[in-house]
Chain A
Amino acid sequence: AQSVTQPDIHITVSEGASLELRCNYSYGATPYLFWYVQSPGQGLQLLLKYFSGDTLVQGIKGFEAEFKRSQSSFNLRKPSVHWSDAAEYFCAVGAGTYKYIFGTGTRLKVLA
């Protein structure tokens, strides 16, 4: 069955430190992959997406993610975290023409 796993429920980093949020997926075909961010009381905002081509994709707010087919992973990274990055992050896989499967999210806390 198709699934998305975000193994870290909570992550705490210091401001200025680097960040990596993990995402693993299970999907039989080449997936469409997404990362979204959700601030409290708001909907989800798209950070970046992978459809095909270069496996390292750049997104908004200085985020990037790398698609590794051999590891079925699509980890999100940022070299230097800002306090405003504190939020919940969701990985999603496009499972078919319109179905999307979301992970359970990783809540990021940033220490000043």
Chain B
Amino acid sequence: GAGVSQSPSNKVTEKGKDVELRCDPISGHTALYWYRQSLGQGLEFLIYFQGNSAPDKSGLPSDRFSAERTGGSVSTLTIQRTQQEDSAVYLCASSPPGQPQHFGDGTRLSIL
């Protein structure tokens, strides 16, 4: 597709379960970002991938959060042992180096 694709668009799960969120960036975009958007908050940076370089994981809030990017393209954000405070919209963005980001529509995660 032409834009950043995220799946699922909505995810409801029980506290304590693991979840995987997927991001398909725009073809050719070497940079990929994950953000968390909580109600009434701005975007909280989680992790950044650039090409084959080591990712910047400095924004991950705890060791329950991890992310991978396979083959420099698709990325998966995994949250283990989910907690209610993990409920948020998770946004993925991609860009060519040094250019503005293009955002997906996000995954709305609800933890019961």
Which A residues lie at the B interface, using CB under 8 A? 4, 9, 34, 36, 41-46, 49, 90, 92, 97-105
Contacts of B106 in A (CB 8 A): 42-43
Contacts of B31 in A (CB 8 A): 98
Cα–Cα, bound, A41→B40 (Å): 14
B4 near A98 with CB under 8 A, answer: no
A-B contact count (CB 8 A): 48
Q: Which residue of A lies closest to B31 (CB)?
A: A98
Residue of B4, B40, B101, B104 with highest tally of chain A CB at under 10 A = B101
A43 near B4 with CB under 8 A, answer: yes
**Chain B interface size, under 10 / 10 to 19 / 20 to 34 / 35 or more:** 20 to 34
Which B residues lie at the A interface, using CB under 8 A? 4, 31, 33, 35, 40-43, 45, 48, 50, 56, 91, 93, 98, 100-106
B4 near A46 with CB under 8 A, answer: no
